[in-house]
Structure 1
Amino acid sequence: MQRYFSKEKNGDYFILEDGDIHHITNVMRMKNGDNIEVIYNEELYLCEILFTEKQPNIKMIEKQELISNEKTEIILLIPLLKEQKMDLILQKATELGVSKIIPIITERSIIRLDGDKFNKKKERWKKIVKEASEQSKRINIPTIDNLKTLKELLNLEGLKIVCSTIEKDINIKKFLKNNRKYDRIIVAIGPEGGLSLKEEQYLNSIGFTSVSLGSRIMRVETVPLFILSVINYEYME
């Protein structure tokens, strides 16, 4: 059953975004009486579509029990990447349970965005994670923060990990297995070529542990998907 998110409610009727209305009417071609799921304030509702003058109205039928295994908050720090790579990471990271995404500025980042250009990208990214959240039956949508420098990460609290191209001894799987007491994990990913030694050492100085992902050389878009899969395996029930 198709799932959508709603931020507004009017009596027994949920209000969906225009993009969702288009998806219901023109993509899914739903009919009068079809059922959908709606997430409202992180609660799940079974709803019925009632068309009025070709416009779908989303009527609540009943509240349903919601089972979620998203017990660990995962914050992903990623550099600005080329559009196709960034889109893939946002989509798959959402499917793998990331809670928050913070774009970061790094020395070796090829892409540079500021001001209006970043804000336009951010709106596009928010649409990607929303659609991925609906597809993967999440109860919430990951938030996307504003662009930050490494110096602005000082106050993050939790189990802090930086994916290293230098560290060989601390294996990510063993490290996570030995640190299961945390309910928040922060993962920093470098751009193509990795973080510079200076950047990695700075992150170490504010509590990030450098970890190895093994002997294979991975593409930058593969790294977060690999590490999120390992976190899911070690942490999720």
Structure 2
Amino acid sequence: MPKFFEDAFSPEQPFLTGEHLRHIGYALRMRPQEQLTINSCGVDYECEIAEITADAVHLNILSSAPCCTEPTISVTLFQALPKSDKLEQIIQKSVELGVTEIVPVLTRRCISRLSAGDFQKKLPRLQKIAQAAAQQSGRGMIPVIAPLHSLELAAERMKAIEVPVVLYETEGGISFSEVRADAKSYGLCIGSEGGFDPQEIAFLQENGVQPVWLGKRILRCETAPLTALSVLMFRTGNLN
């Protein structure tokens, strides 16, 4: 069943306009009596299309209930900036897996060297990718794609997270299986194609971020966050 997000949705006057109208009426070619779901502020409304006019999609609400698909944990992905196509893939799949927020980070070994201003121009497209993935996977919210961060700003943000970790394949870390599974908030810091500079790892450790590793193989930058998210969701009971 198609799902749409609209925080301004009113149960007293159930209709959709604008982009939703174009998507439902023209892209999906939906018709009266077909059903869809509207998520508004964490509540899922199961609706039936009553009428599609030139101005709006008019709906009948069949039922409503709090969305039950969200993970019980908050996960912020701090992703060192990869090439643009890889970032789009990471965003799409991370949203499907239950990430709460994705924070792109510019580190020393990033191949992509966008300025904060240039990255800001890409944000609307990246946020749309997150929205589409949230709708497709039945999420109860649309994860935020943050502006480009420096490593220093990312480390400062991680201080407010209960369990912040950085994936690093060399000695000095612990197995991901040893990361505690009873926390409410997690931060996953993942390198770009070139990984992290040892000085960056030392800096993160000084700021309370624990290095961890995922087995003996080296994962690509687009594989590592999805693997880490999957393992974390499983260990915290969110893939049961």
In structure 1, stretches of 5+ residues that fail to align are: none
TM-score by length of 2: 0.90
Equivalent-residue separation in structure 1 for 2:173 and 2:206 (angstroms): 18
- In the alignment, structure 1 residue 161 sits paired with structure 2 residue 174: no
- In the alignment, structure 1 residue 227 sits paired with structure 2 residue 224: no
In structure 2, stretches of 5+ residues that fail to align are: none
1:138 paired residue number: 139
**For 1:23-56, what per-residue CA distance to the aligned partner results, in whole angstroms no more than 9, with x for missing partners?**
2122321001211000001001011222124742
Q: How many pairs does the alignment contain?
A: 233
Please tell me whether the aligned partners of residues 162 and 209 of structure 1 are also in contact (alpha carbons under 8 angstroms).
yes
Alignment RMSD: 1.9
Partner amino acid, structure 2, of 1:130: Q
Equivalent-residue separation in structure 1 for 2:82 and 2:61 (angstroms): 41
Residues 110 and 131 of structure 1: is their aligned pair in 2 closer, same or farther, counting only changes over 3 Å? Answer: same
| Partner SS for 1:87 | helix
After the TM superposition, which of the residue ranges 219-228 and 60-69 deviates more from structure 2? 60-69
Equivalent-residue separation in structure 2 for 1:163 and 1:55 (angstroms): 48
1:78 paired residue number: 79
2:118 paired residue number: 117
Residues 202 and 83 of structure 1: is their aligned pair in 2 closer, same or farther, counting only changes over 3 Å? Answer: same
Please tell me whether the aligned partners of residues 70 and 140 of structure 2 are also in contact (alpha carbons under 8 angstroms).
no
Please tell me whether the aligned partners of residues 69 and 138 of structure 2 are also in contact (alpha carbons under 8 angstroms).
no
Q: Where in structure 2 are the equivalents of 1:94-113 lying within 5 Å? A: 94-113=95-114
TM-score by length of 1: 0.91
2:218 paired residue number: 217
Please tell me whether the aligned partners of residues 24 and 30 of structure 1 are also in contact (alpha carbons under 8 angstroms).
yes
Partner amino acid, structure 1, of 2:29: R
Q: Where in structure 2 are the equivalents of 1:1-237 lying within 5 Å? A: 1-10=1-10, 11-15=12-16, 18=19, 20-49=20-49, 50-53=51-54, 55-64=56-65, 66-152=67-153, 153-154=155-156, 155-167=159-171, 170-173=174-177, 175-176=178-179, 179-237=180-238
Please tell me whether the aligned partners of residues 180 and 235 of structure 1 are also in contact (alpha carbons under 8 angstroms).
yes
Equivalent-residue separation in structure 2 for 1:86 and 1:206 (angstroms): 26
| Partner SS for 2:9 | strand
Residues 14 and 158 of structure 1: is their aligned pair in 2 closer, same or farther, counting only changes over 3 Å? Answer: farther
Please tell me whether the aligned partners of residues 116 and 147 of structure 2 are also in contact (alpha carbons under 8 angstroms).
no
